[in-house]
């Protein structure tokens, strides 16, 4: 399948490498060329320098034939805008959008966007570790209330 | 229970609010006083300005009586150091450490640290969304290989 990823940070690069390694056709877009250094030398996909809300840049990345689109820049607004362009202008079937702000993530999820929220996910993991240790050691005041 | 949290970013503030709301005794440490604005007005815990690898700062935050310690600054090295100080100098029973770099996260987890890795977790969530949509639509080349 053809996947366009906007944002070549830690998560974008990791997803790109994993999909590339699995034999998919991957294009990664980032405004900074040095971001592409996060991709291993074995990466066989394409890289495009530019912003992921620019339709020409997205066309250069092959969005017109994309089966999936992933927006993982560090900005919630940029991710939301890029995801909406991919979904509504280019009709990409699968669009995944990272939103750090749990309030906005909830709102856009209700509007039908497929979202991931690191803040809520990681906070939940931390809480689980803290509270499971507490219940294991008998220190459980305030937990069952 | 008494919990000390180092780093009042999105995740630190969220964990602090949730534990505070559940009736726990929470102290949050951050080098920047404005970071504490992320805490809601209803937060009834303590805030301490300073670095989470300074033993005096950690004592001021009440680490000597802490049941749990959470290191969630934006720096992997700072989190690892703070977690090790909490575990080995102050003998805190439960220590949770955020490490963005999956390679270091794996290494420190093997060494016995309780870790959370946003990079690996969020990349896995994104992949799951992309690939489950692909298998649902019959576009599965490269997935089962």
Of B127, B130, B76, B123, whose CA–CA distance to A9 is shortest?
B123
Entry pTM: 0.89
Q: Is the dihedral angle over the CA atoms B122, B128, B131, B134 positive or is it negative?
A: negative
Write out pLDDT tens, residues A86-99. Answer: 999 999 999 999 99
> Residue A15 and residue B133: Cβ atoms within 8 Å?
no
> Which residues have CB under 8 Å from A67's CB, separation 6+?
A1, A2, A3, A92, A93, A94, B133, B134, B137, B139
Write out pLDDT tens, residues A41-56. Answer: 999 999 999 999 999 9
Closest-CA residue in chain B for A120?
A: B11
Q: And the tokens for B141?
A: 């080349």
According to the per-residue pLDDT averaged within each range, which of A129-133, A140-144, B74-78 is highest?
B74-78
Closest-CA residue in chain B for A139?
A: B1
**% of chain B with per-residue pLDDT over 70:** 92
Interatomic CA distance for residues B13 and A5, integer angstroms: 30
**Exposure b/e, A12-30, CB count within 10 A at least 16 = b:** bbbbbbbbbebebbbbbbb
Write out pLDDT tens, residues B112-128. Answer: 889 999 999 999 999 99
What is the model's pLDDT at position A134? 67
The ipTM of this complex is 0.90
Give yes or no for residue A142 having a pLDDT over 50. no
Give yes or no for residue A139 having a pLDDT over 50. no
What is the model's pLDDT at position B112? 83
Residue in B10, B14, B130 nearest the CB of A68:
B130
DSSP A127: H
> Residue B134 and residue A68: Cβ atoms within 8 Å?
yes
């Amino acid at each position: 399948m053809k996947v366009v990823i906007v944002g070549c940070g830690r998560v974008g690069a990791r997803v790109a490498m994993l999909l590339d390694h699995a034999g998919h056709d991957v294009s990664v877009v980032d405004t900074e060329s040095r971001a592409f250094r996060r991709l291993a030398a074995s990466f066989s996909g394409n890289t495009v320098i530019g912003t992921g809300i620019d339709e020409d840049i997205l066309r250069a990345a092959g969005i017109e034939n994309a089966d999936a689109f992933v927006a993982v820049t560090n900005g919630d607004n940029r991710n939301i805008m890029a995801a909406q362009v991919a979904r509504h202008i280019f009709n990409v079937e699968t669009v995944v959008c990272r939103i750090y702000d749990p309030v906005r993530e909830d709102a856009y999820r209700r509007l039908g966007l497929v979202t991931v929220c690191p803040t809520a996910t990681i906070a939940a993991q931390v809480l689980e570790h803290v509270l499971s240790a507490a219940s294991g050691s008998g220190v459980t005041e305030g937990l069952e209330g």
